[in-house]
Amino acid sequence: CGSLAASLLSGAVGSGTSLASAQEGAARSGVLQDLRGRFAVVTGASRGIGKGIAIGLAEAGAIVFVTGRDAAKVAATAELATKAGGQGIALPCDHGDDKQVEAVFQEVAKRTGGHLDILVNNAFKDPSLGNPEVDRKLTEGAKFYELPLSVWDDMHIVGLRSHYVASYYAAPLLLAAAQKEAVAGSSWRPFLCTTSSFGAVSYLFTTAYGVGKAASDRLMRDLQVELGPQGIDCLSIWPGLVLTEKIEELYKTNPSRVDRITGGQDPRRVGESPLLTGRVIARLAEDPGLRSPKGGVVTGEGLTGRVSIVAEAAKDLGIRDGGVPGSVGGDLYGEDRVATPSIRSLGFLGPGPLRQALPEGLRWLAEPGGPLANDSVRLPLEFMSQGPPPAPKDA
């Protein structure tokens, strides 16, 4: 992106972290550092998955605009992105306010010369945050009619609708980037993606959650119809069980809610860090050839099409989780390690719900490493749509 990107990147790596060490740590984790000079926006990046995505893109060298409501946390994420090897720029924003979103993209346009290479829609409002009553009801497995109507609005206004709004205001900048690449004779294409989940096909948490995720997937498929011919690729990204601050807290205070997903397994064994999602998105951004089913890490066309499952892409592309000691990834997300199994693989389902269903004398078959716990065996997504796995018998 020329001298503009170079000037923004000057002095990007914070004190105590050298660019060389940041690049070395990223390379060991399967990061290619091919996004140097690329501009990215990550919405809802003050914590959780968004924070990990911002760091993952920065590891690959990107200049990352970080948005979120909490200005202090947004600034902290931007600083971590800079230390990780790219540059983080904080742009506080409430994604429930269209005017604020519009202002963010106007500011991005001013700073980038009118173009944007990558948009990651991640902003999401958890209806239980700051609402102990909703939190209690969700923990107890309340039905949709037992929850306040505000749960729907919380999940869909800052969630599905905010993904649409951010894509709307980002579209002219992405199109400008696509035109710039075409004029230069480049095969690289701008990238627009949205974080979704297996909740799009399998019941998870509550009705409003699944509807929002399924609609987010449809949004990406339809945006691909409109933007794909103009040089922009659109995908849904499905993390697995992500060890966000919220999940870590739930495991301490309400482990039964986590057990519904893990089948009683320790989430620290089967959970992935937020950074893994960022590294997978970075690799997809680096290589447009991976963004279609031909690339091997995106689902085929159909009702579950244009989806990349984080754990599967990480395994197939050799992307690792965590980081080496002294790196941002290592300090925040633990030691360098192989990514955990996909939720739809026997590596996850075997030691969890499948083991629970087996007679006592046969449970060894589904223990980690056993023949019924092979993480290379992935069940069709249609199987996941049959409903959630059964809760642990002692839950």
User: So which residues are the catalytic ones?
Assistant: 209
CA distance 341 to 252: 23
Asked if 138 and 191 touch (Cβ cutoff 8 Å), the reply is no
| HEC profile of 319-345 | CCECECCCCHHHHHHCECECCCCCCCE
Asked if 348 and 309 touch (Cβ cutoff 8 Å), the reply is no
Rg (CA), the chain: 20
| CA–CA distances in Å: residue 285 to residues 33, 193, 196 | 11, 10, 17
Q: What share of the chain is helix, strand, coil (3-state, %, to 5)?
A: 55, 10, 35
DSSP per-residue codes, 173-190: HHHHHHHHHHHTT-----
Asked if 263 and 341 touch (Cβ cutoff 8 Å), the reply is no
Listed in sequence order, the residues at least 6 apart from 260 whose beta carbon sits closer than 8 Å to its beta carbon are: 141, 388, 391, 395
Residues in the chain, how many?
A: 395
